Every structure is written in structure tokens, then in C-alpha cells.
């Protein structure tokens, strides 16, 4: 199957504007401007059933439709803060196929009437970001950004922005605060960014990969797009495969493929190295609960893991073989969340710190049965009560491993 997102793997130098245009680049933008009104573009994206690829899976067309109509200050913000453990898909797009992201963002800007696009990249993407900025400059030189894009009435600017390296800035309101030069902390919604976002103006925040899906949808139509995938998860998805796997890397799949195929097919992961047994995998980095062998035949889709109590999220699949100590794994992940909690709301700030302390104690053999109870209880007391979703993610390392591997915890409890 030909790539839809990772097209650079088939076409050399796709990051260059002329090469991108030789292969149909910016024709989708041209088509959107020439053939559709902004409202029609939103309708097409709605009909394609494209959902956010950052992990939450919110319908993209619906998000765009929340933006108030008519002229005015509005913003498109590309969320390239990619910071989830084991996630490395957006960076590949930004580095090797930047124009597809820019084109998608421009179509979004056209659809909602936004005169300005920002690409918010995590600070560590500095080098990739410089390449991306070159792509922006190419667009300006070619009349694809700035005044009267492609000779139309549509004008739009774009600039790149680098965060200082904070996981929380992947949360849309924290991202917007950071973009405004404020401390990277989320705000309590409402107000939602679609009404009061960047500089208190209507703002769309879309994941990088999400926007890369937009040009092919406009080119080929919604029907083409919905022909791929499962009932609730349409289209292609980049899966980041890492951990104990023979062939780690990004894979573009059509949603609905099973985890088993992803891990063991020669075309994809190629199995577990060194003949070890599969123990579990994290389907969405640290923020989704671990799944075990019984879930391997579940489809990779937004809804596929519902019955297994987990989520696909950003599809950052981290594979763990039989040698992995699950308490150690939980401790490492919890340390990450403790480190990345912004500290704004009480349960997350205090709870992640507390869980991190308890996990260290248990891992080091100093924990008691009571510590284990407190650990579970702390996790349960954070869930559903925090200001943003980070708190809900932060409890999954504990709840997931306790659920499937409680024996490993008990084995470490001080006798």
C-alpha cells in the first residue's frame, strides 16, 4: 500500500517544496480554495470522520466547526509538542514531510478563517524545527503563505515556536499559555480554545499528524478516507513501535490491524528479540494502562481497547518482554509524571509526588502492604478530579500494573 502520511519514504527529498509540488503538493489547498467554501471544507473533514491523532481522538471537523464564523482574529495552532513516552511520529513528519503538515494547516486556516498559524514544537526539536522553518520560508517565497495565497483572497501567515520542553505543554491550554509567553500551565475549561484561546481569541489546536491527514482527504474525498479503518476509527495511523521488538520504528497502518500483527508480522515489528516471551505492552506510551497477551488480537483503533481497559491514545506502542520488572516500569513512568506535573492543581501535584515516593520504596524492598494499599488509594483519589487530563494519565502506570501484575508488587513487599 502506498503511504498516505509517510510519503517521504517513497519519494526522495519530499521535504523540498518543488519535489512536494511535483507530487501533487498544495493541489489540495488549491482545490479547497477554488472549489469549496470554508463551510464545505469543514463538512468534508466532518464527513471523513477524521479524529485527533494526538491521543484524545476528538472529531477534527467538529472542532473546526466550533470556531465562530466571520472575520476576526483567530488562530490555528499545530501541536508539535510530542512528549509522550515512546512517541516519535510527529518529528518524522516535521523533518521529512513538512509541507503536508503546512498544507493541512493552511486548509484548516482557510476553513475557519484564521489569518495566522503557529507551530508549537517542543524545545528539543530545535534542529528539526530549523528544517521546518526552511519549509515555511519556501512557502512564503512561492506565495503559499502571506498575502493572497495562490492568487486568491485567502491570506495567512505562519511561524514556528519552540517550547522549553514540558510534557504538559502538549495539553492544549498549557500549550497556548506557553505560546503567549506565560507559564506552561493549563487553564480550567471553559473557556474552550475554540471560543477563547490564544490571546483570548478563537483558536484551533490540532496535532501535527492530524493536519497531515487533511490534504489527502481534500484531494481524494471523504468517501475514500472512510473506506479505510474501522467503524469509529477511519484512515491511516502512524504507530510508534519501540521497546523489546526486533524492528522498532514508525509504521503507517490502516486502523483495525491487530496488535499481534503489528508486533509479530515480518512486515512490521518482526517479533520479540532473543527468543524472549512477550509480557505486556503500553499502547499509548506512559499514559495508557499496560495490556497483556490476551489483548493482542484487539484492533489498533480508538475503540479497540475499550474492553481491555486501555486506550490507543497516540499509538506509541512500547513492547516489554518477560525480563521486565513491572514495578520498576511503573516507577520509571511515575517518575516521569511527577517530573512533568505542572503543579497547578492539588491532586496531580501532590499525588504524583506521593506515588513516586511509594513506588521507589516498594521497588527498593522497603514497602509494606499498607504502602501498596495507599499507592492504589492515592491513584484512585487523583482520577477524575484534576484540572486537566495529565492527572488521569498519571495514575495509569500504577493502576495498569497493579491490575495485571499485583503478584510482582507483593513479591517486593517487606516481609
Partner 1 sequence: MNDDLVKLTIDGIEVDVPKGTLVVDAAKKIHVDIPVFCYHPKLEPVGMCRMCLVEIGLPMRDRGTGELLLDDDGSPKLNFGRGLQTGCTVRVSEGMVVRTTTEPVKEVREDVISFLLSSHPLDCPICDKGGECPLQNLTMEYGPGVSQMDYSLKMHNEKQVPLGDLIYLDRERCIQCARCIRFQEEIVDDPVIQFHNRGRALEIVTMSEPGFDSYWSGNTTDICPVGALTSSDFRFGARPWELTPVPSLSPHSPAGANIVMSTRREAKSGGRSVIKRIVPRQNEWVNEIWISDRDRFVHHFADAPDRLQKPLIRKNGELTEVSWDEALDLVAEKLQAHSTAVAGLSGDRLSNEDLYAFQHLFRRGLGSNNLDLANRRLAGGDVTAQVGLASGSNLQDLGAGDAILVVASDLHEEEPIWWLRVKQASERGATLVVLNLRPTRLDKYADYVFRYAPGEAIVTVRQLVNAAKVETDTAVDQLTAAADTLIKANNLVAFYGYEGLTYTETDTLAKLLANLLLLKNEDKAHAGQINSGLIPVWPHNNSQGAWDMGIHPALAAGYQPVEASGMDAATIYEAVHNGGLKALYVMGADPVGDGRMPNRGQLDFLVVQELFLTETAKLADVVLPAQSWAEREGTFTSGERRVQRYYQAISPLGECRPDWQIAAQIGERLDMGKPAFAASLLFRDLAKVVPQYKGMDYRSLAKVAEQWPLVGGDDVYYGGTSYKNEAGLGQQWAAAAETDEVGLFEVADGDTAVTTNLPLVRIAALYTPGTLINHTPMLADRLAAPTLHLYADDAQIIGLQDGGETVIQVNGRSLSVQVCVNGHAPAGLALLSGVPWFPGMAEFEIL
Of 366, 280, 269, nearest in space to 325 by CA: 280
C-alpha cell, 192: 474552550
Would you count residue 179 as binding partner 1 (CB under 8 A)?
no
Nearer to partner 1, 50 or 331 (CB): 331
Q: How far is the CB of 53 from partner 1 (least distance, A)?
A: 23
Q: Is the dihedral of CA 137, 139, 140, 145 positive or negative?
A: negative
Element (H, E) at 252: strand 249-254
Distances (CA, A) of 330 to 23, 61, 309, 356: 45, 36, 17, 9
Q: How far is the CB of 178 from partner 1 (least distance, A)?
A: 11
C-alpha cell, 271: 517479533
Would you count residue 351 as binding partner 1 (CB under 8 A)?
yes
Of 134, 136, 98, 101, nearest in space to 29 by CA: 101
Nearer to partner 1, 156 or 331 (CB): 331
Q: How far is the CB of 287 from partner 1 (least distance, A)?
A: 16
Cell 506565560 sits on residue: 182
Would you count residue 346 as binding partner 1 (CB under 8 A)?
yes
DSSP 175-230: HHHHHTTS-S---PSSSPTTTS-GGGS-EEEEEHHHHHTHHHHHHH-HHHHHTSB-
Would you count residue 119 as binding partner 1 (CB under 8 A)?
no
Residue from 381, 389, 403, 412 touching partner 1 (CB under 8 A): that is 381
Contact 91, 49 (CB under 8 A): no
Residue from 2, 181, 307, 377 touching partner 1 (CB under 8 A): that is 377
Q: Which span (203-211, 246-254, 266-274, 377-385) binds partner 1, by CB under 8 A?
A: 377-385
In whole angstroms, what is the distance from residue 306 CA to residue 172 CA? 24
Would you count residue 339 as binding partner 1 (CB under 8 A)?
yes
Would you count residue 409 as binding partner 1 (CB under 8 A)?
no
Q: How far is the CB of 282 from partner 1 (least distance, A)?
A: 22
Contact pattern from residue 131 through residue 170 relative to partner 1, giving x for each residue in contact according to CB under 8 A and a dash for the rest: -----------------------------------x-x--
Contact pattern from residue 385 through residue 404 relative to partner 1, giving x for each residue in contact according to CB under 8 A and a dash for the rest: xxx-----------------
Residue from 152, 384, 410, 411 touching partner 1 (CB under 8 A): that is 384
Nearer to partner 1, 70 or 190 (CB): 190
Q: Which span (45-53, 79-87, 227-235, 380-388) binds partner 1, by CB under 8 A?
A: 380-388
Nearer to partner 1, 33 or 176 (CB): 176
Residue 323: how many other CB atoms lie within 10 Å:
10
Contact 334, 341 (CB under 8 A): no
Q: Is 200 left (phi over 0), alpha (psi -120 to 50) or beta?
A: left
Residue from 68, 143, 151, 343 touching partner 1 (CB under 8 A): that is 343
Contacts of residue 273, defined as CB under 8 A and 6 or more positions apart, other chains included, come to: 244, 245, 246, 321
Q: Which span (99-107, 186-194, 268-276, 286-294) binds partner 1, by CB under 8 A?
A: 186-194
**Interaction site with partner 1 (CB under 8 A):** 166, 168, 183-185, 187-188, 190, 338-347, 349-354, 357-358, 361, 371, 374, 377-378, 381, 384-387
Amino acid at each position: 500500500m502506498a503511504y498516505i502520511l509517510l510519503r517521504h519514504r517513497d519519494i526522495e527529498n519530499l521535504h523540498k517544496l518543488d519535489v512536494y509540488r511535483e507530487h501533487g503538493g498544495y493541489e489540495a489547498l488549491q482545490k479547497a480554495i477554488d472549489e469549496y467554501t470554508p463551510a464545505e471544507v469543514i463538512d468534508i473533514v466532518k464527513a471523513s470522520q477524521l479524529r485527533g491523532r494526538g491521543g484524545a481522538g476528538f472529531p477534527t471537523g467538529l472542532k473546526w466547526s466550533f470556531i465562530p464564523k466571520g472575520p476576526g482574529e483567530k488562530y490555528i495552532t499545530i501541536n508539535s509538542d510530542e512528549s509522550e513516552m515512546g512517541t516519535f511520529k510527529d518529528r518524522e513528519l516535521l523533518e521529512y514531510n513538512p509541507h503536508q503538515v503546512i498544507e493541512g494547516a493552511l486548509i484548516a486556516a482557510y476553513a475557519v478563517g484564521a489569518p495566522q498559524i503557529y507551530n508549537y514544537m517542543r524545545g528539543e526539536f530545535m534542529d528539526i524545527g530549523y528544517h521546518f522553518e526552511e519549509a515555511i520560508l519556501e512557502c512564503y517565497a512561492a506565495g503559499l503563505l502571506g498575502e493572497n495565497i495562490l492568487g486568491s483572497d485567502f491570506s495567512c501567515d505562519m511561524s514556528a515556536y519552540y517550547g522549553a520542553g514540558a510534557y504538559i505543554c502538549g495539553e492544549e491550554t498549557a500549550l497556548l499559555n506557553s505560546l503567549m509567553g506565560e507559564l506552561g500551565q493549563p487553564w480550567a475549561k471553559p473557556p474552550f480554545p475554540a471560543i477563547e484561546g490564544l490571546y483570548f481569541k478563537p483558536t484551533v489546536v490540532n496535532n501535527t499528524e492530524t493536519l497531515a491527514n487533511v490534504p489527502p482527504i481534500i484531494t481524494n474525498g471523504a468517501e475514500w478516507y472512510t473506506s479505510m479503518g474501522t467503524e469509529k476509527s477511519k484512515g491511516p495511523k502512524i504507530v510508534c513501535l519501540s521497546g523489546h521488538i526486533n524492528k522498532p520504528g514508525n509504521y503507517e497502518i490502516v486502523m483495525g490491524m491487530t496488535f499481534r500483527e503489528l508486533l509479530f508480522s515480518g512486515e512490521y515489528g518482526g517479533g520479540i528479540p532473543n527468543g524472549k516471551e512477550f509480557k505486556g505492552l503500553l499502547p499509548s506510551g506512559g499514559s495508557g494502562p499496560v495490556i497483556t497477551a490476551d489483548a493482542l488480537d484487539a484492533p489498533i483503533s480508538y475503540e479497540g481497547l475499550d474492553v481491555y481497559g486501555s486506550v490507543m491514545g497516540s499509538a506509541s506502542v512500547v513492547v516489554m518482554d518477560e525480563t521486565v520488572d513491572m514495578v520498576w516500569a511503573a516507577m520509571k513512568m511515575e517518575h516521569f509524571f511527577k517530573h512533568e506535573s505542572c503543579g497547578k492543581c492539588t491532586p496531580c501535584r501532590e499525588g504524583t509526588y506521593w506515588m513516586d515516593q511509594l513506588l521507589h520504596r516498594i521497588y527498593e524492598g522497603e514497602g509494606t502492604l499498607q504502602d501498596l494499599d495507599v499507592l492504589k488509594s492515592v491513584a484512585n483519589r487523583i482520577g477524575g478530579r484534576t484540572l486537566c487530563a495529565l492527572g488521569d494519565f498519571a495514575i495509569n502506570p500504577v493502576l495498569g500494573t497493579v491490575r495485571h501484575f499485583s503478584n510482582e508488587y507483593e513479591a517486593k513487599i517487606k516481609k
